[in-house]
Amino acid sequence: MIGLQLFIIPLSLLGLLHVGMSEKLPNIVLILTDDQDVELYGMHPMVKTITKIGKEGAAFYHAYTPTPICCPARASLLTGMYAHNHGTHNNSVSGGCYGSRWRTLMEPRSLPKHLKRQGYTTFFAGKYLNQYSASLTPGGWDHFYGLQGNSRYYNYTLRENTYNVHYDKIYLTDLLRDLAVDFLKLATQSENKSDESDEDVRPFFAMIAPPAAHAPFTPAPRHNGTFDKIKALRTPSFNKPVDDKHWLVRSSRPLHNKTIDTIDTYYRKRWETLLAVDELVDEVVNTLNQTGVLDNTYVIFSSDNGYHVGQFAQPYDKRQPYETDIHIPLLIRGPGITPDSRIDSAVSLVDLAPTILSWANVSIPSYMDGHSFHEMLMESPKPLVERSMLIEYWGEGNLNTYNAKCPGSNKDRLAECTPDAECHCQDSWNNTYACVREVRYKLNRIYCEFHDNEHFQEAYDLDQDSYQMTNSVYDLLPIDRALLGLRLKNLTHCSGRECFV
């Protein structure tokens, strides 16, 4: 299949595919937002981003997170591995988020390590992993400005290489913008000096991870109120309880008007937080252009996972296997990519690391579960590459995650329960599932199995039921369900090349 041969061809031949041996290696800039959806018009505020990356490159219409929650998704992006292989299952330390397994086994295998060995100057600024402790600086980064803990906009601490620096009043997205622009100017200085030889010019990899559009949904003051008249998108599933889905969603009840008002407010604020990100993207692209390196730079824009607001009467969160939560934005511009391209083939965040390594002329490690989509980007017209991808999640509810301000007991092992969401709990100990997301010729489907007491199953034909209103798993022929179950079992145990099916 297209791209699969990139796992096995020799390093020297790989480079000839897209980097002439006498040419410079490309620079790479990756901008990763937090909880930015596609399905609920989460790209609406990103006018400059769409213009300067999407219109000047490729837009992916079927890009997905392998795990719809921050820490595992970011770990997958950095390693090119599914969560069942890298071991980060959720946002807790016990769930592998910046735990000992990550630090000792996975971080040394991560993307910046490979790029640094290839001669790249590496830069990181923003949210790393949710449980990241600023007492340590992750390996592989020449310049590191990592946020301690989870997303926030003010009153935060960054690990700035070997020091911790606290900021009270500087808006984080703006600080990340300035840090990135300063780095890009420094990294490209030698390219603008006539007395420097090509051998002295080091390519760079810059990853910028702003907090938007994650809670607490704090816009920059200049953007506050921009979308005051906007309400959350009223999809057919909005505030609609259902009885044909797994128990956690099935337990939803109609939301009160006060909660819907809160949802509308959060929806507006999420959009407003993204306006500063749009400005960040604009400044980054402008700087690349002004320093003369834009034509030799791949610029990627994406998010770690999506987000729902009111669908199936769930107030606001991710962690569910529906398109609102798993469908993510992905825009890429760079050398050889035809402007204003549309790509309908399915890709996953696990594919980004192999793709970036292919651009950097680095052999793709056999342990990576993703595959490079470089060839797909270069071809015109764009072929449909048939794909079955894994979506997996492990619920993180335990005895300590329940909110005492809500009814019930800690023995219920529920999580993400808040009074402002009417104590509708968004997660639980058995909100654990695996899905196969298929995009093939005349087939656009998801099939899920839940590891709960009911061994519940869900399936949706997204071409016929784009809002996933009706669980059609029992409309499938028994042989189809059996084959889907077998494919899903293989994916949940796959490793390396065998994950591409």
Q: Which positions are catalytic?
A: 70
Find how far residue 434's CA is from the centre of its chain: 18
DSSP string, 348-394: EGGGHHHHHHHHTT-PPPTT--S---HHHHH-SSPP---EEEEEEE-
Burial label, 159 (beta-carbon count in 10 A; 0-12, 13-18, 19+): buried
CA distance linking residue 414 with residue 395, whole number of Å:
9
Q: 3-class SS at 479?
A: helix
CA distance linking residue 424 with residue 416, whole number of Å:
8
CA distance linking residue 490 with residue 434, whole number of Å:
11
DSSP structural state of residue 201: P
Please, which residues bridge with residue 461 across strands? 445
Burial label, 465 (beta-carbon count in 10 A; 0-12, 13-18, 19+): middle
Q: Which of 245, 216, 78 is nearest to 152 (CA)?
A: 216
